[in-house]
């Protein structure tokens, strides 16, 4: 059977139907070379629900190769965060440079940063990307459990040093209010206010709104991206999944609005199919459809 690239109905370029031995059926170097490469600069969640673990799952679900530059290590599970340790700024930069030197980067997702020093390191690292490389910034401030993931002293650095570099910023409602100081504003006003801080486009996600509708704004008209709410789903890692999917689709060449539509779908289905049986707290989202598969299929 001739393989098809993810998201495409056309056969992969240069594909063949067999290999010279029994180890594989398809060896397609051209198709592999065409796979987009996306880098997550974010924190690690030891429970596997959010952070770079969620990012890598979302990248795989969207058909791109995921890479990471870890900014912090958290001791975390579905119940809460018990410890946080930042990675040195030098090591954050070294991780990004290692990826750039060998593999290359078609888009970047930025998540948990934690400190002013890390923000400055990430700003420096982003300056080494090829001009025009899309950057999605998810302004992670507080974990779902309530743990502070961004020093309060670092908020102004995030706003001033990084947001203007974003192709798309993806705050939820509380994050948009924290970024702008507009505690009583509606989502549309918040989208405009966050956009005024410098990102080329903004998606205010709908997870904390009465209606699960994302709002997209790039300086023109507010565009609503509706979706169903799944109150019986598992939402741990939903924000990470959304921003990572958005970065993945930008890497694959979609315009920001269409990438935001696709990311909304990926995150919504991941919540709907979330793994409620994992852990005692809110379960992790399931962007890879693990709950629908038979584990024996992979053996």
pLDDT of residue 36: 98
Average pLDDT over residues 268-277: 94
Whether 271 contacts 242, CB under 8 Å: no
In percent, how much of the chain has pLDDT > 90?
73
pLDDT of residue 266: 96
Which of 25-34, 129-138, 238-247, 286-295 has the weakest average pLDDT? 25-34
pLDDT of residue 144: 66
What does the alpha-carbon distance between residue 42 and residue 136 come to, in Å, rounded to a whole number?
12
Token pair 């100081």 in the structure block, residue: 181
Spatial CB neighbours of 154, under 8 Å, sequence gap ≥ 6:
113, 114, 115, 116, 118, 119
Q: Which of 88, 86, 87, 161 is nearest to 119 (CA)?
A: 161
Could you give the 3-state DSSP secondary structure of residue 279? Answer: coil
User: In the predicted model, what is the mean pLDDT of the chain?
Assistant: 87
What does the alpha-carbon distance between residue 131 and residue 43 come to, in Å, rounded to a whole number?
25
Assess whether pLDDT exceeds 70 at residue 3: no
Whether 252 contacts 273, CB under 8 Å: no
| β-bridge partners, 160 | none
* Distances from the Cα of 78 to the Cα of 150, 212, 218, 252, 267, angstroms: 19, 23, 35, 32, 18
Average pLDDT over residues 16-31: 47
pLDDT tens-digit readout, 40-50? 999 999 999 99
Whether 232 contacts 249, CB under 8 Å: no
Q: Which domains does the chain have, with CATH numbers?
A: 36-286 (3.40.1190.20)
pLDDT of residue 221: 93
Assess whether pLDDT exceeds 60 at residue 7: no
**DSSP conformational letter for 197:** T
Assess whether pLDDT exceeds 50 at residue 80: yes
pLDDT tens-digit readout, 102-141? 999 999 999 999 999 999 999 999 999 999 999 999 998 8
What does the alpha-carbon distance between residue 30 and residue 203 come to, in Å, rounded to a whole number?
34
Assess whether pLDDT exceeds 80 at residue 25: no
Average pLDDT over residues 60-87: 96
What does the alpha-carbon distance between residue 273 and residue 161 come to, in Å, rounded to a whole number?
37
pLDDT tens-digit readout, 179-223? 999 999 999 999 999 999 999 999 999 865 667 899 999 999 999
What does the alpha-carbon distance between residue 270 and residue 277 come to, in Å, rounded to a whole number?
14
């Amino acid at each position: 059977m001739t393989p098809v690239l993810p998201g495409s109905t056309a056969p992969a370029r240069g594909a063949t139907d067999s290999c010279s031995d029994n180890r594989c059926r398809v060896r397609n170097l051209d198709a592999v070379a065409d796979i987009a490469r996306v880098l997550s600069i974010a924190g690690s969640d030891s429970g596997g629900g959010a952070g770079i673990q969620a990012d890598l799952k979302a990248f795989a679900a969207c058909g791109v190769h995921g890479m990471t530059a870890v900014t912090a290590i958290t001791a975390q599970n579905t119940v809460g965060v018990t410890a946080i340790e930042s990675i040195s700024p030098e090591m954050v930069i070294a991780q990004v440079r290692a990826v750039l030197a060998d593999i290359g980067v078609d888009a970047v997702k930025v998540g948990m940063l934690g400190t002013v020093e890390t923000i400055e390191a990430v700003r420096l690292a982003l300056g080494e990307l090829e001009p025009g490389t899309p950057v999605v910034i998810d302004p992670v401030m507080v974990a779902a459990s309530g743990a502070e993931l961004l020093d309060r002293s670092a908020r102004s650095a995030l706003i001033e040093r990084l947001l203007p570099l974003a192709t798309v910023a993806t705050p939820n409602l509380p994050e948009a209010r924290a970024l702008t100081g507009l505690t009583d504003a509606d989502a549309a006003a918040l989208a405009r206010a966050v956009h005024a801080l410098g990102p080329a486009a903004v998606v205010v996600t709908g997870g904390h709104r009465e209606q699960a509708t994302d709002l997209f704004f790039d300086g023109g008209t507010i565009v609503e991206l509706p979706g169903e709410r799944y109150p019986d789903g598992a939402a741990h890692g939903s924000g990470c999944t959304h921003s990572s999917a958005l970065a993945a689709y930008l890497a694959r060449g979609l315009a920001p609005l269409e990438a935001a539509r696709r990311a909304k779908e990926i995150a919504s289905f991941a919540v709907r199919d979330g793994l409620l049986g994992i852990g005692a707290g809110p379960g992790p989202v399931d962007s890879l459809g693990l709950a629908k598969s038979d584990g024996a299929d992979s053996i």
